[in-house]
Amino acid sequence: MTKELPKIAIVGYGAMGRVIEKLAKDKGYFITDIFDHENPIDPDEDYDFDVAIDFTYPDTVIENIKILSAKGKAVVVGTTGWYARIDEMNDLVIKNNTGLVWGSNFSVGVQMYFKIVKYASKLVNFLDSYDVMVHEMHHKRKKDSPSGTAEIMAKIITSNIDRKTGTEFNAINGAVDDSKLHVSSTRGGEITGKHTMYIDSLADNIELTHNAKNRTGFALGSLLAANWVHNKKGFYSFGEILTDIWENIPE
């Protein structure tokens, strides 16, 4: 039996919102509402959508989650930069008995990349002659730095390399602390998103890079998440919804 597609609301009508709108319509989703700063979500309005997809800003997404979860609406959150309050939002979604999927990056390719980074980190853990660094690049309009994807990469690497006991996200203007994973960022131009894990030694260098060609992958991933979370309760990361696909792959 084919699952009925959820009715979608788009929260944030910038470049990402427009790509989601086009792909959603192409795939047969019905978009009931589009919200932006000129047409914000009204806490007192009774809306007809099933799932809201939020690609807004860190300073607005928290309020959006509060309003939407209070209305019993499922939410897909592609906005980054709000993770310091993730436990609070988790508790709120559970309390309101609704569903939410969050992700630092909704590209399925990035989720594959995370697994590659994890495996590479486990290899490096046994080889002291190799050091690891991360660099990410995004367009000049991106509000947060480092990217949420880079933060997830840092957690994966430091969780699997014993000698990396912390992370340094700021510019280093002196001696490098070998116990810190250095994560650097560049903002400029129209770069959709590029993340690289550098594995370096005296003998050679390995560069593991995910390079987003455009926003299509993020939009497709957000629609996949919206379809998955429809009629579900709970607080999930985007990686969790791919578990069924990759369940037989060893960690």
pLDDT digit of tens for each residue in the chain (251 aa)?
457 899 999 999 998 999 999 999 999 999 999 999 899 999 999 999 999 999 999 889 999 999 999 999 999 999 988 999 999 999 999 999 999 999 888 888 998 999 999 999 999 999 999 999 999 999 999 888 899 899 999 999 999 999 999 999 988 888 889 999 999 999 999 999 999 999 999 999 999 999 999 889 889 999 999 999 999 999 999 988 877 667 766 66
- List helix spans (H) across 71-202: 86-95, 108-124, 148-160
Active-site choice (7, 71, 142, 180): 142
Closest CA to 76 of 243, 181, 195, 228: 228
CATH of 8-106+215-246, one of 3.40.50.10860, 1.10.1840.10, 3.40.50.720, 3.90.1150.10: 3.40.50.720
Told to judge if 213 belongs to the known catalytic residues of this protein, a careful annotator would answer no
CA distance linking residue 116 with residue 196, whole number of Å: 12
pTM, 2 dp = 0.74
State the fold for domain 108-211: Dihydrodipicolinate Reductase; domain 2 (3.30.360)
Q: Do domains 8-106+215-246 and 108-211 have the same CATH topology?
A: no
How are strands ordered across the β-sheet holding 99-102?
31-35, 8-11, 51-54, 74-77, 99-102, 234-237
The structural domains of the chain, with segments of one domain joined by +, span 8-106+215-246, 108-211
Closest CA to 98 of 229, 240, 238, 243: 229
Told to judge if 138 belongs to the known catalytic residues of this protein, a careful annotator would answer yes
Active-site choice (73, 135, 138, 195): 138
3-state helix, strand, coil split of the chain in percent (to 5) is 35, 25, 40
Distances 100 to 9, 73, 92, 168 between C-alpha atoms, Å = 14, 9, 10, 30
